[in-house]
Structure 1
Amino acid sequence: MSPRGLYAYASLDAAGEAEAAARRMEARAGLPATAAMFEALVLPLLRPGLKVVEVGCGSGGLARRMVAAHEGIEVWATDKSEGMLAFARRAAADVPARLRFSQWEAGTPWPAELPARVDLVVSAVTTPYLSEPALRRLLAELRERTCLEGHVLFLEQDLASATVAHPDHNLAERISSEHVRLKQPWQGHGLRRYVREAGFSLLPRTSFLWTDDTFSPYLRDLMTRYADDAVTDGLPSAEAARFIAGLEALAVEGECYYGMVYHRVLARVLA
C-alpha cells in the first residue's frame, strides 16, 4: 500500500497507475516553482558537452530541461516503469535526439545502452522508493560510472517541512500530514551519509523551498488523493469534502499555499 496521497511509485506498472502518476508529475514540472528549483539547484552544474544520466526520470520534465540548457548536452533518462517511459517519450517527441530514454531499475547492473562513463548523474526523489541494499548497490555503481571530477546530484524532499494552508488546521493535519512517511534513514539529508560511505566527496548543503499558491492541477490531484485515502482509513466523506472546499475557498481568496523544502545532496568523484 502506498503512503497517503501517493501513487504506487515503486510498482506503477503492476498497479496500473503509471499514466496518472506521470500526468501529475508533468503538471508539477510545469509550475514556476519547479523551473525556479531547476535554475537554483541543477542548472549551475550544467555545461556544454556533458554526458548526463538521470535515475528515475518519471515524466521526463527534468531531462527535457537539462537538454535545453546547453547545446551539446547529452542526457540518458532512465526509469523502471514502462508506462512512465512511454509518457516521457511522447512528451519529448519534439526534443533533440540528444535526449534518450532507457528502462533501468536503480540498484540493478548498469544497462549496456548507457555510456560507460558519465559526467553527471541526477536523481530526483527516487531513493525513498529503494530498499537499503538497492540504494547501496546504486551508489556503488554510480561511483564506478561517474568520471573523475564528475558529480552525482540527488534532489531529496524534506517531508517534515511539508505545509498546507487550510481554514481548519486540525482537519488538514488529520488528512494531509506527511510526517508519517519519514520511515527511511536515507530520506532528505539522511542520504548524505550513504553517499559519503560509497566513496564520494560531499559538497556543502543547498536547499530550496518549493511552493504552490494557486491550487494547481498538481496540488488538486495530490490533496484529493489525500482526502480519498483518508476516507478509506475511516474519515467521514463529509469531512473529506469540507477539506477540499476549504482549499478551494483559499484559492479564490488568493491565500492558497503548499510548500516543501528540497535538499540538494551533491557529491564529487575524486581520485
Structure 2
Amino acid sequence: MTSNLLEEGVEDILETLLADADDELLVVDPSASTVEELVTVATEAEDELPTIKLVAADGVLKDVMGDFIVASNAADLVEAGALSLRTSADAGGNSLFVTREAVMALVTAGEHVAALTTEDEEFVADAFDTYEAEWESAPEFKLRTPAISRVRETLGTDIGDATESDFDTVLASLETARGDGDGLDEVTISLLVAAKNDVLLYDISKWGEDVGIASKATFSRTKTKLEDMGLIDTEKVPIDVGRPRLRLKLGDDRLKNADARELAGVAQSLLAS
C-alpha cells in the first residue's frame, strides 16, 4: 500500500486505492462527490476490483443515486458483487478508506486532495474491525434503479439496436441525468430516443416498467408533458382489437435535425424555453 497520496483530484487517489487494495476496501462517510467518483472509477476499472463496502449518510446516498447515470452504474457493480451500499445516521467528517494494510483519511486543500495514510499494524487492525462491524450492522441501501447493463441489453432486445445505441449516445452526452433542469431524466431520455426511432408508446413504456425504470403511468405523464411542449408528436396505429396505439415521433424540427449526440442538448434548450 502506498504511503500518503497527494493528487489533483479524488479520481487519481481512488484509482490508486482500487489498484492497491487486495480483497476488501471499506469506504466510510464519503461525500456525495466521492461516491460519484468511486462509482465512475470502479465502473471504468480494467483490473479485478476488491469488494467495496461503503457506508454513508442516507441523505448522501439518496442524493447521489438520484442521478440515473451514477445509480445505474452502481447497480451494475452491486449485481456483480463488487459494491455493497449501507447507510449510517450521520456523516462523521473526513472520508475514510480502510483496508487490512492501511487507513487513509481524505483531505482536500485548495486545488489538491490527499489521502493521509497510516500503516501501523495494531491501529489498522483495530480500525478495520471497528469499521467492518459498523458496516455489518448498518442497514442496506436499496437501489431502485436497474443496472445499466440490463437496461442496454433489454432495450436492444425488446425495442431495437438503433434505439439502444441512441440511448447510450444520449447518456454519454450528459454529465447528469436527474431531470428538473439538471440533465434529462431516464424516462424523458427513453421517450426521446423512442420518438427518434418511431417506437410505439406502448412498447417503450412496457419495456420501461418491466426493466424497472418507471411505471407505464409515469411514461404516459411524461409523454403528455413532452407532447404539450412540442418536443414529440404521436400518430395513431390501428390494431386488430382495442383502441389504436400511439407511435412516437419527434415534434420539433430542431430535434428532427439533431443527431443522437445533440439530442439531449436541444431537448434541454426547448424544455427551458
TM-score norm. by structure 2 comes to 0.30
Asked which structure has the greater RCO (Cα within 8 Å, sep 6+), the reply is 1
More helix by share: 2
